[in-house]
């Protein structure tokens, strides 16, 4: 089965064609990040309008570049949620309409299921069951995964998502949006041990997270430096970035270790934008080795939002006979656990 995937849930237009026999045939990504950068975050209305401009031309271009005929496409997958409603509706209307025109089924994909399954696109994919840590700009969740659509939420963030905390700290350090990769780059120049921030909720039992206290600790440390010396130097910023990144990473590592122990599972999958973080990958790698477990993640470009993960997840659901009716539906909020299983 050959599936066209469309991702428009936030500020990236992602297109891909995945073939269940031949693998990923091609993908294209357009990021709106420059457009939103001057506002310091995503402006939903601007995002939807830009998806309208980009999506169809990108589909045309990808198909012509790869020499893929519309008649060879057997199904369409679009992100149906969670995300920005206007942005989601662009992909949903376009996906549904193309499916009607090409007379093929269409399926609405859960964005976080897309992230969760993205490591399946790699050469050495994980096998079910596994524990998944989903860490994106909007979600921080630990999930026990028995199979596609068989998800049990083990814990989640009670306030900010990990990526959101990176972005907010980035803003405090006057870095451009999205802050995650920039905070990580700055942290490489940091002096270890100058600051020590709290590892939120690690001493309490359970697998939930909270990052808002850590954010406040960072803000207080920055105000303290400004009070003492009048301004922040580049080195101060790098030192704070490193201490913040270490606090987030160690918190995630502690909770992942606990999730592996409590579930008895031996594979850990990390997915979503923050799973591209090198310090997180390296620290989790050491942890899983000590636990005689294995770590899986997608290549960096498939950690952040992309069309390939949507084409892949949609293809699995279409192969199982699942598809939508004729109505155009998007779910800005959509619990992962409500998805049907594939058997
Ligand atoms: O999965 P994603 O592209 O979009 C959502 O579904 O939210 O995740 C974006 C988030 C942003 O918060 C971004 O700052 C963060 O992932 N991110 C990173 C890194 N790359 C992206 N955070 C830390 N380190 C990175 N290398
Ligand atoms: Zn995402």
Q: State the pLDDT at residue 38.
A: 87
87-115 pLDDT, tens per residue?
A: 999 999 999 999 999 999 999 999 999 99
CA–centroid distance, residue 111 to ligand 1 (Å) = 14
Report, as an integer, the average pLDDT of 163-176. Answer: 96
pLDDT over 70, % of the chain:
100
> Which of 44, 82, 163, 333 to probe ligand 1 with, by most ligand atoms within 8 A of CB?
163
CA–centroid distance, residue 240 to ligand 2 (Å) = 26
Residues whose CB falls within 8 Å of the CB of residue 165, separated by 6 or more in sequence, listed in order: 211, 212, 214, 215, 248
Residues whose CB falls within 8 Å of the CB of residue 108, separated by 6 or more in sequence, listed in order: 77, 78, 79, 80, 81, 92, 95, 324, 329, 330, 331
CB of residue 75 inside a 6 A radius of ligand 1: no
Q: Cα–chain-centroid distance for residue 217?
A: 25
pLDDT band, very low/low/confident/very high, at 279 (cuts 50, 70, 90): very high
Residues whose CB falls within 8 Å of the CB of residue 29, separated by 6 or more in sequence, listed in order: 12, 13, 14, 15, 301, 305, 306, 307
Q: Is 244 exposed, middle or buried (0-12, 13-18, 19+ CB in 10 A)?
A: buried
Please tell me the distance from the alpha carbon of residue 59 to that of residue 14, in angstroms, as a whole number. 9
CB of residue 276 inside a 6 A radius of ligand 1: yes
∠ CA 139-141-147, nearest 5°, is: 115
Report, as an integer, the average pLDDT of 268-285. Answer: 98
CA–centroid distance, residue 304 to ligand 1 (Å) = 6
CB of residue 274 inside a 6 A radius of ligand 1: yes
Q: State the pLDDT at residue 201.
A: 85
Atom 10 (ligand 1) nearest CA = 137
Place of tokens 């918190």: 251
Strand partners, 150: 147
Report, as an integer, the average pLDDT of 272-281. Answer: 98
pLDDT band, very low/low/confident/very high, at 231 (cuts 50, 70, 90): very high
User: C-alpha distances in angstroms, 184 versus 135, 217, 237?
Assistant: 15, 18, 12
Does residue 73 have a pLDDT over 90? Answer: yes
Atom 21 (ligand 1) nearest CA = 273
pLDDT band, very low/low/confident/very high, at 65 (cuts 50, 70, 90): very high
What average pLDDT does the chain have? Answer: 97
pLDDT band, very low/low/confident/very high, at 127 (cuts 50, 70, 90): very high
> Which of 274, 283, 299 to probe ligand 1 with, by most ligand atoms within 8 A of CB?
274
pLDDT band, very low/low/confident/very high, at 202 (cuts 50, 70, 90): confident
CA–centroid distance, residue 191 to ligand 1 (Å) = 24
Nearest ligand to the CA of 31 is 1
3-class secondary structure, 142: strand
> Which of 44, 167, 170, 178 to probe ligand 1 with, by most ligand atoms within 8 A of CB?
178
pLDDT band, very low/low/confident/very high, at 235 (cuts 50, 70, 90): very high
Q: State the pLDDT at residue 40.
A: 84
Q: State the pLDDT at residue 12.
A: 98
CB of residue 136 inside a 6 A radius of ligand 1: yes
Report, as an integer, the average pLDDT of 156-174. Answer: 97
CA–centroid distance, residue 305 to ligand 2 (Å) = 5
Q: State the pLDDT at residue 204.
A: 86
Ligand 1: atom nearest CA of 162 is 12
Does residue 306 have a pLDDT over 90? Answer: yes
Nearest ligand to the CA of 32 is 1
Please tell me the distance from the alpha carbon of residue 22 to that of residue 305, in angstroms, as a whole number. 22
Does residue 192 have a pLDDT over 90? Answer: yes
114-123 pLDDT, tens per residue?
A: 999 999 999 9
Q: State the pLDDT at residue 103.
A: 98
CB of residue 95 inside a 6 A radius of ligand 1: no
Higher pLDDT among residues 54 and 203, named by residue: 54
Residues whose CB falls within 8 Å of the CB of residue 137, separated by 6 or more in sequence, listed in order: 10, 161, 163, 164, 167, 178, 180, 272, 273
CA–centroid distance, residue 234 to ligand 2 (Å) = 30
Q: State the pLDDT at residue 148.
A: 98
Does residue 286 have a pLDDT over 90? Answer: yes
Q: State the pLDDT at residue 343.
A: 78
CB 36 within 8 A of CB 11: yes
């Amino acid at each position: 089965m050959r599936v066209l995937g469309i991702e428009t849930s936030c500020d990236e237009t992602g297109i891909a064609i995945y073939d269940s026999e031949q693998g990923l045939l091609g993908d294209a990504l357009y990021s709106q990040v420059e457009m939103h950068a001057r506002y310091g975050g995503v402006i939903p209305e601007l995002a939807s309008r830009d998806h309208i401009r980009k999506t169809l031309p990108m589909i045309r271009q990808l198909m012509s570049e790869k020499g893929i005929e519309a008649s060879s496409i057997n199904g369409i997958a679009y992100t149906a949620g969670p995300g920005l409603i206007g942005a989601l509706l662009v992909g949903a209307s376009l996906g549904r309409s193309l499916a009607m025109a090409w007379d093929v089924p269409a399926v609405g994909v859960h964005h976080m299921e897309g992230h969760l399954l993205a490591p399946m696109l790699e050469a050495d994919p994980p096998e079910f069951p596994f524990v998944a840590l989903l860490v994106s700009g909007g979600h921080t969740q630990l999930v026990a995964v028995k199979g596609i659509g068989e998800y049990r939420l083990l814990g989640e963030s009670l306030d900010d998502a990990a990526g959101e905390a990176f972005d907010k700290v980035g803003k405090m350090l006057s870095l451009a949006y999205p802050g995650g990769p920039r905070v990580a780059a700055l942290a490489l120049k940091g002096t270890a041990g100058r600051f020590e921030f709290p590892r939120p909720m690690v001493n309490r039992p359970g697998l939930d997270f909270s990052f808002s206290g850590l954010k406040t600790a960072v803000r207080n440390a920055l105000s303290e430096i400004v009070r003492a010396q009048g301004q922040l130097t580049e080195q101060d910023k790098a030192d704070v970035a490193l201490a913040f990144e270490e606090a987030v990473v160690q918190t995630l590592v502690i909770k992942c270790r606990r999730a592996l122990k409590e579930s008895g599972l031996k594979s850990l999958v990390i997915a979503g934008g923050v799973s591209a973080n090198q310090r997180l990958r390296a620290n989790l790698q050491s942890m899983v080795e000590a636990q005689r477990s294995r770590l899986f993640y997608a290549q960096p470009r498939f950690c952040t939002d992309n069309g390939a993960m949507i084409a892949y997840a949609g293809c699995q659901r279409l192969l199982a006979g699942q598809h939508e009716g004729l109505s155009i539906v998007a779910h800005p909020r959509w619990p992962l656990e409500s998805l049907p299983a594939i058997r």
